């Protein structure tokens, strides 16, 4: 215990990662998190075994000073990646301050929507941008963990909040939306579909595209916002799914989606139909590489990024989409 107590009593943890090595072959690893204030933690119950590591999560003190700590002769800054350690007491969890833009957005959105546990954040700097950053934010016991950023494309006219949007205006709806669920003509619900095989999604059912799959997108018709079996697919804005190459593997973004679709009856505002997360459309469609095109309102990704996102989605996932400042303050 002599290798731990001096550090704890003097609150020697700050905003860096440190390791203190003890003379008696025991080790005490201290993980400091910037901008946190944590009351002094009594670790008198911790028992360090030979070759074991006791991990204590603390912050809020000055930089580590070893001048008067004879039990800790060696202190060095180390990588934030610390191998998992075996301890004889449960881990101490401390809520961390959000640091990245993704974490700040997730924290603020979740404050307004407490049920949020996983967010697909699609963000830009401005309302008119057509290239976006996509990150998956997962809620943990200590805050939000964000994935590596991915490049995406949006509608060719940028964003518009869903209540202000109309089908055909070439904007991507801004807002917070659930992973959508629809009912196929055979009565089965699905949240994913595609012309390729199911990559192994777990957040909902996957529907392989079938002959006759027509997604209605012609405003103020009964088929608007619904999938029907209609090989002719005659509506001017309707989408015949077997013929759409970028619909390899697709997730439904629940913007104006079943069961309550506005625009499938006369006089209703047609906010949006067929808002999907799908693969890029390339300028050179034959090469499937190189420059990409904006969409008519969907969010598109490179296929490897798309597959990664689809496989990480969990039941209850939500999409938080829009300009960064708007997501932070209003979404």
pLDDT tens for each residue of 157-173 = 999 999 999 999 999 99
Q: Is the pLDDT of residue 220 over 50?
A: yes
State how beta strands 318-323 and 118-124 pair. Answer: parallel
Mean pLDDT in the chain?
A: 79
- Read off the pLDDT of each residue in 53-57 and give the average, rounded to a whole number: 33
Tell me phi and psi for residue 143, to 5 degrees. 140, -145
Q: How far is the C-alpha of 249 from the C-alpha of 258, rounded, in Å?
A: 20
What is the pLDDT at residue 74?
32
Which pLDDT belongs to residue 95?
Answer: 54
Strand partners, 58: 32
Quick one: pLDDT band at residue 57, thresholds 50, 70, 90? Answer: very low
Q: Residue 130 and residue 133: Cα distance in Å, rounded?
A: 10
| Token reading at 269 | 């505002």
Confidence of residue 98 (pLDDT cuts 50, 70, 90): confident
Domain range annotation of the chain: 5-77, 101-329
Q: Please check whether residue 316 is in contact with residue 328, taking contact to mean a CB–CB distance below 8 angstroms.
A: no
- pLDDT tens per residue across span 102-138: 999 999 999 999 999 999 999 999 999 999 999 999 9
Contact yes or no for 143/95 (Cβ under 8 A) = yes
pLDDT tens-place string over residues 29-40: 333 333 332 333
Token digits of residue 204: 């909902």
């Amino acid at each position: 215990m002599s290798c731990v107590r001096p550090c704890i009593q003097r609150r020697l943890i700050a905003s860096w990662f440190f390791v203190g090595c003890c003379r008696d072959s025991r080790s005490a690893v201290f993980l400091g998190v910037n901008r946190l204030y944590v009351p002094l933690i009594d670790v008198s119950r911790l028992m360090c075994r030979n070759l074991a590591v006791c991990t204590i999560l603390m912050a809020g003190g000055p930089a580590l000073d070893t001048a008067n700590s004879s039990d800790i002769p060696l202190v060095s800054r180390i990588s934030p990646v610390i191998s998992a350690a075996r301890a004889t007491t449960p881990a101490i969890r401390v809520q961390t301050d959000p640091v990245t833009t993704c974490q700040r957005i997730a924290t603020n959105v979740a404050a307004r929507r407490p049920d949020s546990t996983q967010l697909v954040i699609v963000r830009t700097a401005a309302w008119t941008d057509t290239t976006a950053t996509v990150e998956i934010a997962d809620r943990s016991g200590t805050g939000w963990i964000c994935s590596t950023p991915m490049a995406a494309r949006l509608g060719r006219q940028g964003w518009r909040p869903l209540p202000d949007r109309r089908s055909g205006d070439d904007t991507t709806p801004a807002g917070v939306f659930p992973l959508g669920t629809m009912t196929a003509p055979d009565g089965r619900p699905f949240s994913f579909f595609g012309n390729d095989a199911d990559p192994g999604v777990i957040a909902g059912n996957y529907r392989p595209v079938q002959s006759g799959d027509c997604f209605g997108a012609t405003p103020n018709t009964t088929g608007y916002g619904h999938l029907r079996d209609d090989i002719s697919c005659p509506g001017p804005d309707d989408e015949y799914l077997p013929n759409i190459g970028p619909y390899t593997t697709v997730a439904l973004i629940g913007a104006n989606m079943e069961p309550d679709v506005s625009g499938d009856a006369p006089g209703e505002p047609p906010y949006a139909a067929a808002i999907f997360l799908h693969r890029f459309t390339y300028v050179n469609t034959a090469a499937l590489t190189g420059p990409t095109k904006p969409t008519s309102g969907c969010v598109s990704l490179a296929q490897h990024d798309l597959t990664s996102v689809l496989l990480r989605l969990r039941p209850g996932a939500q999409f938080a989409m829009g300009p960064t400042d708007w997501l932070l303050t209003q979404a």
